[in-house]
Amino acid sequence: MDRREFLIAAGAAAAAAGAMLSRLRESMVAGRRAHAFASESTAPPGDAAAAPPASRPNLLFILADDLGWRDTSLYGSTFYETPNVERMAKRGMMFTNAYAANPLCSPTRASIQTGLWPARIGITAPACHLPEEKFEETVGERGSPEVKVLSCASATRLKHEYCTLAEALHDAGYRTGHFGKWHLGQEPYDPLHQGYDADVPHWGGPGPAGSYIAPWKFPARLNFTGPPGEHIEDRMAAEAVKFLKENKDRRFFMTYWCFSVHSPFDAKKEYIEKYRTKADPKNPQRNALYAAMVRSMDDAVGRLLDALDELGLAESTIVVFFSDNGGVHWTGHKGTGNEDELTRIPITSNAPLRGGKATIYEGGTRVPCIVIWPGQVKPGAKSDAVIQSIDFYPTILDMLDLKAREGLKFDGTSIVPVLRGADRLPREAIFCFFPHSTPATGALPSVYVRKGDWKLIRIFHDGPNFAHRYELYNLKTDVGETANLADEMPDRVKELDALIEGFLKDSGAVLPKPNPAYGPGVQGEKRRRMLNVKY
């Protein structure tokens, strides 16, 4: 079943209701926009049929941006200090094998809001801040002779036809608020058009427009300013706490999607100096600037937890903590001062994992994850079960005892059995599709499957005569992906590649393809003449 067939099947039964809700949403969005910076405690008339039962919990979903698997003290960092991340783990379950659906941000965010693979959605790169409204992934016909494989071009908007997680909870009577980075499309594909009552700062781009430290450079139309020196996470946490206070007597769903620790790379000076004195030149994690950014993110988490405690909401609120992809592991950045940390010292290290952001290796998609579910999850629990960002939507519906909209299907599965003590989930494998080249990391268009302890990477058309190239790793014995076993285990490669092929077909993925113009030099020119290829 290709993407179009899947979406037709998933939405057919709900088409009429969806159209009616869409018209209703459009008529109300102007009113929502008016209070985007100061959400009222009462939903606008007609926003929901009824408030959820008092027994149904609230939900706070905290998403860090570019926070690597080892970028907190909870996961073994001896340099970064994250007492509030540790505080969350003491209240809930820590996952050691949690995966983002993509090694870059927008695709993972789309997977959280839809429960679908980015390959099916068509958003496979962080392109949703671009001005062009592009709803389908595409691949070109030719490239320059230096390029062997034609990468795909991502869609740039999360289409309205999807019933987002926010829309599902809004329809169930929850007051919905989004705070921080969105990066799934500018208006009319922003949070206020995707199920949220409040959106602060109502900004669809990837970062705080130039600096984490005020004065920020958000567009003037937002009228979102702060006193000089104010940190963006301090401000966002304060705005989020307002929302909690205004909605303490009704059920709410809040997404606090941090700007941190994505670029631009700057931070509070006092934190930078603190970590400069702590940095050990022998530690691969030694970038004081980044450590300061991690600490401000953790401060924001602490303010949200404090607010839940002070408002008496901690025992009635589910909290999810996750990251949209792995950490930035290279140097050569430009930023607002602190050039030593930007040009000489890697931003972070994901060791013992290989690679990081924008790579298909473990450092690119294995991320920190904590789930707090009062009364259901044993405090301080730990799980090695393999979960992925596509699982959050069906899991949250399951946790809240809500049914999915009729006809809606997910690629993810509920992880509630694991939260209640099961060792693993009853599914065969997880997949990650990344049809792009990233010069900063050397990554090539690729896809992987993880089944049990085995991970197979297919690198598209990178072998002789444009054949696919394969890398096979046993993550149980080689978490750093240092020993490629593909040549030694052809039967295992064949078995796992069949799963990849099934995934690509089921998701309707638009695939990279060989570049007919490839080949610098004489041999390449001969090939182009034979094929009559122009570029």
Domain membership of residue 468 (yes or no) is: no
Share of the chain above pLDDT 70, in %: 86
Confidence at residue 335, expressed as pLDDT on a 0 to 100 scale: 65
Q: Which residues contact 300 (CB under 8 A, 6 or more apart)?
A: 233, 234, 236, 237, 256, 258, 260
Task: Tell me whether the omega of the peptide bond preceding residue 188 falls within 30 degrees of 0, making it cis.
Answer: yes
- Largest Cα–Cα distance of the chain, in whole Å? 74
Domain membership of residue 445 (yes or no) is: no
d(Cα 184, Cα 196) in Å, to the nearest integer?
13
How many domains does the structure of the chain reveal? 1
Domain membership of residue 147 (yes or no) is: yes
pLDDT bracket for residue 144 (50, 70, 90): confident
Question: What domain range includes position 212?
Answer: 3-433
- Could you tell me if 149 and 462 are in contact, meaning their C-beta atoms sit under 8 angstroms apart? yes
Answer whether residue 30 shows pLDDT above 70: no
The stretch 464-471 carries a mean pLDDT of 94
For residue 468, which of 504, 507, 440, 520 has the smallest C-alpha distance? 504
Domain membership of residue 100 (yes or no) is: yes
d(Cα 341, Cα 344) in Å, to the nearest integer?
6
- Could you tell me if 151 and 445 are in contact, meaning their C-beta atoms sit under 8 angstroms apart? yes
DSSP for residue 409: -
C-beta atoms surrounding 16 within 10 Å: 9
Single-letter amino acid code for the residue at 34: A
Domain membership of residue 497 (yes or no) is: no
Which tens digit of pLDDT belongs to each residue from 174-231? 999 999 999 999 999 999 999 999 999 988 777 676 789 999 888 888 889 999 999 9
d(Cα 288, Cα 265) in Å, to the nearest integer?
11
Domain membership of residue 57 (yes or no) is: yes
d(Cα 434, Cα 446) in Å, to the nearest integer?
5
Confidence at residue 526, expressed as pLDDT on a 0 to 100 scale: 55
Which CATH number belongs to the domain containing residue 32 in this structure? 3.40.720.10
d(Cα 58, Cα 317) in Å, to the nearest integer?
4
Domain membership of residue 138 (yes or no) is: yes
HSE on the CB side for 296, CA within 13 Å? 29
Domain membership of residue 448 (yes or no) is: no
More confident residue, 521 or 183: 183
Confidence at residue 114, expressed as pLDDT on a 0 to 100 scale: 98
Confidence at residue 440, expressed as pLDDT on a 0 to 100 scale: 83
Mean pLDDT taken over the chain: 88
